Structure 1
């Protein structure tokens, strides 16, 4: 390869990072941007209070439920081709949602967005993992990718407020179209094609994973209005757990498993999945409370509340670009936990709230998230080949989706319960009760992040067998990385 070919190859790798990051922004941003626009959309389309949640839930169910299938389809089609299909479909369904004339049309468009996002997300991460294989470049690439993804939730809240206030709620969906089209053009002209993998679709595994994950996500969403003790919520969650247990049993014996168990049974990848799942449980509750607290207690407008989160987005960027490697994983979780702990000291009468509480909490949680996202994304796909790259990418995205759904439902329910209990013993103290509810839930988020740090540290510890040190994070170095006894290997 001559010098010009080498330069062209380097340029194509970094253009791959650019288009994959743009797609990641679309997927993550769309999880939050519609939240700000929902009240306006409800008025425009005449949604009932009972049905409006489907604008959020339809996307979450389709996205979360289809991720593992999307990872498999991505491998069979080829990750570049699947990426293009996902981008084009996401743009079309976004345009359909923006043009919605009735609520059912909007709900259907949001479900379609979730379908194409479930193909887009694992295909993009697989492209990145197979493009950047050298340690130094891989760290930088995953740092950028993670910064875009981690900041996407905050950007979604900011963009949602600005677009809804100054244009229309419809632009919270239309905005996806030009971004997706630019990414399509970049992919077609600058991203090299890859070779599809062979193999059949594991139909039983696909159905079990789809219904199991969908039941869990829907159960978490229903826990907010109904409570965790509701018979409906308990039935949904129990059904989801049973179906996912059946999915594992099927995958161990399948000749072409949707999710080979060796993807999960590796100490380094297990650490990545634990860290990212629990981080998302805590952080999605954090974003929810930041939005509500700044608007209902401090009196910020939606735009001001969204702009406050710019601090967090900048801190995420700093953390992901300046502090790299799996050595930053546990300190990142502890930094985010410290940020949560600061907010638990808030009271209804606290002075200088932004400078003394919000600013340090936003910085610490942002830096923590920025330290966690790049190494976990890299570790989840490290050492994978063929179909396994798509499966690992899909599992990583599914872990985020389940964490986000659980965190929003769990922490919101805890906050509501704590608020009600405070009001029962303190009449006419609505403001104090609201703040008490938030700080109670954030104390639980602090505990979740501490537990994540402990579990992650334990999984990343060096194993010493017969006097030999084994680095558990390296692909293929852990005994857990072997396929379970009697389980057939996936064809690659």
Structure 2
């Protein structure tokens, strides 16, 4: 069973087309990776007590995963191009399941944090392989658009799904099942992947750029650490300033090395292409707004509205279902008729409208009138944006760059989310502190301050989304494949 990156889909086994089952496996792998970014956060209070984490060290269960995952994504993307996409995915899944087993069995803080870091390492192998496998498996535009729609629905709901699953497992079983559940996911992916996934041919000219890999990894680690911890440690902290300064130096050196290298880790043509560059920007801005919204809404639902962790996760079903249905039933069809830049810009505008709805929240707001409309709009916005972003980025890639382009899409999402979480949290807490200081002693002032901070952060995020809509809509300049043209290919 073979396939090539260029095209002819030899994806049938015994006369059966296994590509769509392969898509299920690919999407499940992506879900496992992104689900793990939030599922452990729900279980953290229970895990902290069980393994003896201190208040100052508990954040590292989240930070360790984000650091290794985001820091190694570029390297993971090129490793996939060198080793082969299917092989890289399988290695990543095996390693991720073993790291999850270690996390579930953790008895000390070091074991738990080390397991989270190891999960991030192997997630950096899994994530870049997923988009590349879809792009190489589905070569007909209509089928590819549908495949990206299904993939989008599953992967973009990972964070919210993690909140639901984490709350259920913690409340009804044990926090350790937030790790052990990955072993079940991995078993299904490995069995299904062996039976259904195609194995695109590797480009023999692709080599691993070791100096570039070292600079990129170190630079991304410094950048994600600085952005992720800036809100809690203070943006004027010497550690944060040092991390961000080191990131600038290391990533600047990385660009110089890539410019001179004959076989670079990240070919600069990937970044300078206006279509792929615009897609990366749009994904980063969407993640900036999405993660900021998730964090703010989690606090609103639990601390202000009194929801339990499980009920909080269920509240996000409005977003998950809307994004899933819209991306699979509507966006994948629109992509064959509308220009991608129009869809991407519209997606960011709709997301901005959802954020503006949240600026009207009060401590007395109910779910149906205050929260539900915003989640509905955000699901529509993400569903309208993600399918053309994935399609545009992968279509602009040369076959030899498929893995690294997929890695950059995921890196854009990771960095955008880190910036959003850090910056919007800083805006929210600063605004809340200012409000509380000016309303000291007033009844209900703490809840009013928290909602005021969330509203201001959402207003800032909405502004970023609107600016991003203009920039991405201007940068990206590709035309859709008409249905009749797609059918002829």
Give 2:194's aligned residue: 188
Give 1:473 deviation, angstroms.
8.4
Secondary structure at 2:18 match in 1: helix
Deviations 1:62-87 (CA, angstroms, capped at 9, x unpaired): 11111111111111111111111111
Does residue 450 of structure 1 match 2:450? no
> Is 1:440 aligned with 2:456?
yes
What displacement does 1:168 show? Answer: 0.8
Match of 1:361 in 2: 374
Q: Deviations over 1:422-476 (max 9, x none)?
A: 1111113111111111111111111111111111111135xxxxxxxxx4789xx
Instruction: Verify the 8 A CA contact 2:280 2:412 in the aligned structure 1.
Output: yes
Are the aligned partners of 1:45 and 1:102 in contact in 2 as well (CA < 8 Å)?
yes
Q: Does 1:412 align with 2:412?
A: no
Dislocated runs of 4+, deviation >3 Å: 4-10, 471-474
Question: Do structure 1's residue 348 and structure 2's residue 354 form an aligned pair?
Answer: no
- Asked if structure 2 preserves the Cα contact closer than 8 Å seen for 1:68 and 1:209, the reply is yes
- Residues 108 and 453 of structure 1: is their aligned pair in 2 closer, same or farther, counting only changes over 3 Å? same
Q: Hey, what does 1:382 align to over in structure 2? A: 395
Instruction: Specify the alignment match of 1:284 in structure 2.
Output: 291
Question: How far apart are residue 376 of structure 1 and its match?
Answer: 0.9
Tell me the CA shift for residue 118 of structure 1. 0.4
Cα displacement (A) at 1:319: 2.2
Name the counterpart of 1:465: none
- 1:356-397: CA deviations, max 9, x gaps? 221110000011111111111121111434430011011111
Q: Give the distance between the partners of 1:75 and 1:9, measured in 2 at CA.
A: 29
State TM-score, norm by structure 2. 0.91
> Which residue, 41, 44, 52 being the options, matches 2:50?
44
> How far apart are the structure 1 equivalents of 2:62 and 2:469?
30
Contact persistence 1:75–1:196 (CA under 8 A): yes
Q: CA deviation at 1:194?
A: 2.5
For 2:75, the equivalent position in structure 1 comes to 69
The partner residue of 2:151 within 134, 145, 150 is 145
State the aligned residue count: 461
Change (3 A) 1:291 1:248: same
- Matches of 2:254 and 2:198 in 1, distance apart? 34
Bigger drift between 222-231 and 83-92 goes to: 222-231
Does structure 1 retain, via aligned residues, the 8 Å contact 2:331–2:387? no
Q: Tell me which residue corresponds to 2:140.
A: 134
CA RMSD of the aligned region, Å?
1.8
C-alpha separation in 2, matches of 1:102 and 1:5: 46
Q: Which residue of 2 aligns with 1:323?
A: 331
Q: Kindly tell me: are residues 394 and 6 of structure 1, through their superposed partners in 2, closer, same or farther at Cα, counting changes over 3 Å?
A: closer
| Separation (CA, whole Å) in 1 of partners of 2:360 and 2:395 | 40
SS of the aligned residue for 1:193 comes to coil
Stretches of structure 2 that go unaligned for 5 or more consecutive residues are 1-9, 482-489
Equivalent residue for 2:169?
A: 163
What is the aligned counterpart of 1:53 among 38, 53, 59? 59
1:96 aligns with 2:109: no
User: Does 2:118 correspond to 1:115?
Assistant: no
Deviations 1:390-418 (A, max 9, x none): 11011111111101111111111111111
8 Å contact from structure 2 (residues 11, 18) kept in 1: no
Which residue of structure 1 lines up, in the alignment, with residue 250 of structure 2?
243
- Preserved CA contact (<8 Å) 1:78 1:196: yes
Structure 1 stretches of 5 or more lacking a match? Answer: 462-470, 475-492
The equivalent position to 1:459 in structure 2, one of 475, 478, 486, is 475
Within a 5 Å distance, the mapping from 1:215-254 to structure 2 comes to 215-254=222-261
- Partner of residue 488, structure 1: none
- Select 2:266's aligned residue among 240, 259, 269: 259
Given that 1:60 and 1:114 are in contact with CA atoms closer than 8 Å, whether structure 2 keeps it comes out as yes
- Deviation of 1:7 after TM superposition, in Å, equals 8.2
Aligned to 1:313: 320
CA contact (8 A) 2:425 2:457 kept: yes
- TM score, norm. by length of structure 1: 0.91
CA change 1:259–1:472 in 2 (3 A) is: farther
1:489 corresponds to which residue?
A: none
Change (3 A) 1:8 1:128: farther
Cα distance between partner residues in 2 of 1:5 and 1:169: 40
Which of the residues 2, 11, 33 maps onto 1:27? 33
Whole-angstrom CA distance in 2 between matches of 1:5 and 1:212? 39
Equivalent in the alignment of 1:487: none
8 Å contact kept, 1:380–1:392: yes
- Deviation track 1:312-364 (CA, whole Å, cap 9, x = no partner) reads 100111221122322421111111100000110112344xx222221110000
Contact 2:305 2:363 in 1 (8 A): no
